[in-house]
Structure 1
């Protein structure tokens, strides 16, 4: 399942990267021009103390990383470029060095897709931007009970890589930009193999960008004015599928370790009414129904009297205790071809007592065709501990304008 997830993630990243050089679902009849660019990024910072592996280190763990990116940016020749904040995207290669902790963590590298947008134009040359990155990382040194028992942060050599960047962008020459900002990164396998406390990084960074084509002169004065969008409510319906592992109690069970290599199925359905008031942003609430096979499962090691062999025995919990129902607030940043979203929710019916009822969700949505979309996301608790990674297929039901709904409500109340 883990290898399949890595393969699917690679295909997902390729889809995102290819879309970065395409047009959005709202594209004009003529294909928009794209400006190719090359970037070099350096960052140096700290490994955040979000688990025992980090907090028990004698010296505060630090790291530095290098990244090379190639992508395409909007040329400003259509109104969609301005509606979505002059978006850009592409692919990148990432390498990290953890100094004294390389023996425990390894020398990881990552391949990822990225996309960014302008949040604010301060002048012709100075802008404030946001960028997200998603990919797969490799060459970690994972947990091993004999040779690397301290590393409870990562249980696998390949893990998902997620990063969010906020930064100032300054164009100091026609072909050159300089970026300076902060980055937060997360590495995890989504509990597909335990232990999986995750690695969280925070660092300032700088970046140099070279644009192969001369950039357009843009200072917030729109050459193309986006059409006015009438606020409406859309309805997203998603079906999720995943798997996860869980820790087991070793007291009185004869288990030599709390980590068993057993995956449990996780399935969910979510329904989210989303308010659409602009091209770039959506917000709303989500009703999240979840079936978690690992909920209240028990494990023990015992001798089978039939063949006198020793087995690890798994007993699933009561059927109705495997279900949870949560309500969450949801926000979405929309960009051409795909978008990113985040949820903050609470289980009003809480089945899995090993997880906290307060949960967080973050992910990427890729538009497949018309209103059909796929997502890749991670569900977590404590804002740092992954519960599982998941894939979903969803459909957006386009809603009526809010103004029309307001006119309809009085008629419904009167019974007309």
Structure 2
């Protein structure tokens, strides 16, 4: 595994983060009298550290470099996680999920690839939701989203071979289907399959993205840091390592419908060789930056406590479209030539104040054929107020090819049902 120093540094950093606060706070507990201490069933914090190894292949190759990918990729990640107990209803609705922070290091292939594209690392947040539990086994879907770095971006003069990605920092996405086996109170072993994606949403080009598919194996150490506190107040008490899940009635489901208004902006850069000069000829080297925007009106209906279905209309603008009209200089392309409209259907998966957002859309108006016939918009929202959400999503073109990143605000207006 390349860059082992990163693993060592990260393990040391996490150890310091875990041990140091516990030691400091434990000194405060030392002044407590044993009779003041009243432990409850789920006393403490149910944490774990997990180390995973990844091995697999690339989902696609750039022209001229397939042999460099022949041996596939290798990667490792280290996670610090929290196991929920069900004290809050959203945790019970999602089958007592896990969540936390992780670090990721990788090598994409042989030395040629690492020198041209880079050996990506990432910092990310993850969320894992159990699908089923049976005996000592847990089947879980795990999603990690964050920022990746250690890339060698495209440069026309210094790194023209990198046809994959044009920025040093990119989005990191990792989806896993995992099977865990409980060995004892502290140890779990895991195995799974994964899909890893690096992209910048065409904010810098080239933007082919990097897609990795494979398997992973790992080990997880479960612990309860409250043990460091209680040893001073009640030495004979041992906090449980794993929680006892809270079981409680669900609140009544009150279905409702609402209108959602979205306004978002973004920025894109043209691919090398796609920028037109004023006379309409293509410049083989120059890249130019443009603004984008999306305005959506949709109707959403709460079907279950965790799911909304929606449908609506999208009105989109992409300044870079001036380069994609045949035999037309960019200065002659008016607003209509950069405007697109479509309709969509989709869903919003609700996790407390967060929502995973997905929309599948079809164009009804656009003057250039370059965007294909359909698109997707996938991302997330977080509630700022009961009516206002922050919105971040990736809009695609020709199906799954990144078009731009939407940064926006969504306003919700309830029209019927609920309270």
Contact 1:32 1:77 in 2 (8 A): no
Distance (Å, rounded) in 2 between the aligned partners of 1:37 and 1:236 = 39
Q: Which residue matches 2:301?
A: 275
CA shift digits 1:208-245 (9 cap, x unpaired)? 22222221245xxx721212313332332211110112
**Aligned equivalent of 1:145:** 156
Rate the CA distance shift 1:59–1:194 in 2: closer, same or farther, 3 A.
closer
Q: CA deviation at 1:399?
A: 4.3
1:59 shift after superposition: 5.1
Counterpart of 1:93 in structure 2 is 103
The question of 1:198 aligning with 2:209 is answered: yes
Match of 2:263 among 236, 239, 261: 239
Aligned residue in 2 for 1:216: 243
Paired position in structure 1 for 2:20: none
> Given the superposition, is the C-alpha separation of residues 333 and 51 from structure 1 closer, same or farther in structure 2, using an over 3 Å criterion?
farther
In the TM superposition, what whole-angstrom CA distance separates every residue of 1:88-121 from its partner, at most 9, and x where no partner exists? 2221111111231212211221111111212233
Match of 1:330 in 2: 346
Alpha-carbon distance change, 135 to 351 in structure 1, aligned in 2, over 3 angstroms: farther
Q: CA deviation at 1:199?
A: 0.7
Any conservation in 2 of the 1:106–1:139 contact (CA below 8 Å)? yes
Larger radius of gyration: 2
1:397 Cα offset (Å) = 2.3
Q: Any unmatched runs of 5+ in structure 2?
A: 1-41, 225-240
User: Tell me, which stretches of 5 or more residues in structure 1 are unaligned?
Assistant: 1-30, 300-312, 405-416
CA contact (8 A) 1:324 1:352 kept: no
For the residues of structure 1 that align with 2:64 and 2:200, how far apart are their CA atoms?
16
What is the count of residue pairs matched by the alignment?
Answer: 354
TM-score by length of 2: 0.77
Q: Which one of the candidate residues 352, 370, 375 is aligned to 1:354?
A: 370
Distance 1:390 1:149, change over 3 A: same
Aligned-pair distance for 1:34? 4.9
1:261 corresponds to: 287
- Cα distance in 2 for partners of 1:131, 1:233 equals 30
Q: Distance between the aligned counterparts of 1:239 and 1:375, measured in 2?
A: 9
Cα deviation per residue 1:374-402 (whole Å; 9 max; x = unaligned)? 12211123454211112111122234239
CA separation in 1, counterparts of 2:344 and 2:295?
13
Backbone CA RMSD of aligned residues: 2.8
Query: Could you tell me whether the CA contact under 8 Å between 1:230 and 1:277 is conserved in 2?
Result: no
Q: Shift of residue 33 of structure 1?
A: 7.0
